[in-house]
Amino acid sequence: MGLKVAKFGGSSVSDAIQLAKVKKIVESDSDRRYVVVSAPGKRFNEDNKITDLLYLCKAHMDHNVPYDQVFQVICDRYTAIEVNLGLNINLQKHFDEINQNIRAGASADYIASRGEYLNAIITAAYLGYDFVDTAGLVQFDEKGRFLNGKTDDALREELAKHEKAVLPGFYGSYPDGTIKTFSRGGSDITGALVARAVDSEIYENWTDVSGFLMADPRIVSHAKPISTISYKELRELSYMGASVLHEDAIYPARAADIPINIRNTNEPEDPGTIITAEATQKEDTIITGIAGNKDFTVIAIYKNMMSSERGFIKRVLGILEDYEVPLEHMPSGIDTISVVVSNKKLDGKLDEILEEFQRKLQPDTMDVFENMSLIATVGSGMAKRPGVSAKLFTALYEAGVNIRMIDQGSSEMNIIVGVENKDFENAIKAIYHAFVGE
């Protein structure tokens, strides 16, 4: 095998016990030369993520509330990791510097990023690797826009100097050196950027699950694992709520044609899920996975001769844009369209949007269906199999689920159905059992 980049998520680096597993994994394969780490996550359900505690420090500071106790909890957590790993790093100087910067009014991005920063210092010392800070390497412009080319050049140049290195995930910097973070979960992106920069043969993303499952295990018990999945299929499932990997982490790896392997730190012998440009279609599996989300609103608009009216769809999209409400889906007929939006994004603007639709579109009728769920059945092999839609609709009919909306892309890689929230779990179970079995 060639060079590998291994990224370890928060649950994989939450304490000394987990970091011992990380070391065993890294040392078991000499090709794992570059490691990216998150901040320590939860050790148990009631525990706090370090990143959340750091944001809490910032909130306390902004409201003139003492944050010393919260900050001490953070320091104690890192000190315990250091002591239990038998290290002697002198973390206190880092604690003092961070505390001083918080008191001086440091940004939320800087404060939150210190979780990864401190953890990378500890992990590098524990593994005997070089510590390489991503500030100055992962680059953003003055407006906070990610600079893809400059980041790749900077990482390539710097990492060429290091045979083995640990890097903190989640953040980079503005041109003036000020810290800028990605969105939460952004360490996945850092890992992908590093993998591209060192021409890694594979990007390993280590977490607390053995890859992707064909359905949410909270709904379908004993859901089967997905051994291989394409980037396109993953994008479809991620968009509909399946979350193991930050979706923005896909693009650097995909552009460089680097497979991503989702692995389990607690079960390192499990092969996990391989994400590649083209997934290998299994003969016995028509679909790749099922995912969905609740709480959508569907606005069904009917207007006679709609198909002959120029600019109708443009006006619909313009109204949504004016109210900053993104469109999720828009199934259409000759004289009808259904506008599907997330309740969360709608944020109390429904009545105003309906008034604008009425004024600017002058529809014959307009119906609103609230408390709707969308469920996507995804698989690159579905287009080659006759009867897939019939099988799906029959399964829902037999389960007593009323389909309120159907949407299928031109690629035939997915079929999206809209059902009422109350039928969400039952619908997913019915689809899973129809295509996969018990």
Residue carrying structure tokens 């104690």? 76
333 assigned ligand-binding residue: no
CB 170, CB 182: distance < 8 Å: yes
394 assigned ligand-binding residue: no
Helix axes 68-84, 108-127, angle to 10 degrees: 10
Task: Identify the burial level of 401 via C-beta atoms within 10 angstroms of its C-beta, where 0-12 means exposed, 13-18 middle and 19 or more buried.
Answer: buried
143 assigned ligand-binding residue: no
Q: Catalogue the E-assigned strands of 104-249.
A: 130-131, 165-168, 171-173, 179-181, 202-207, 228-230
Beta bridge partners of 37: 8, 168
Task: Identify the burial level of 188 via C-beta atoms within 10 angstroms of its C-beta, where 0-12 means exposed, 13-18 middle and 19 or more buried.
Answer: buried
82 assigned ligand-binding residue: no
Q: Is residue 158 classed as helix, strand or coil in its secondary structure? A: helix
Backbone angles phi, psi at 37, to 5 degrees: -125, 150
Instruction: Please state whether beta strands 165-168 and 130-131 pair in parallel, antiparallel, or not at all (unpaired).
Output: parallel
109 assigned ligand-binding residue: no
d(CA 151, CA 85): 33
46 assigned ligand-binding residue: no
Q: Which amino acid is at 425?
A: E
∠ CA 243-245-248, nearest 5°, is 110
The CA radius of gyration of the chain, in Å to the nearest whole number, is 24
437 assigned ligand-binding residue: no
CB 370, CB 400: distance < 8 Å: no
d(CA 92, CA 251): 38
Backbone angles phi, psi at 273, to 5 degrees: -115, 130
H runs (alpha helix) in 347-423:
350-361, 388-398
Cα 121 to chain centroid distance, Å, stands at 25
Beta bridge partners of 376: 291, 416
Backbone angles phi, psi at 190, to 5 degrees: -55, -45
7 assigned ligand-binding residue: yes
Residue carrying structure tokens 């039952």? 426
207 assigned ligand-binding residue: yes
Q: In the numeric block, which tokens belong to residue 380?
A: 């690159």
d(CA 430, CA 395): 6
CA 426, 428, 434, 437 torsion: positive or negative? negative
DSSP state of 287: -
Known binding-site positions for substrate: 51, 116
Known binding-site positions: 7-10, 51, 116, 207-208, 218
Known binding-site positions for ATP: 7-10, 207-208, 218
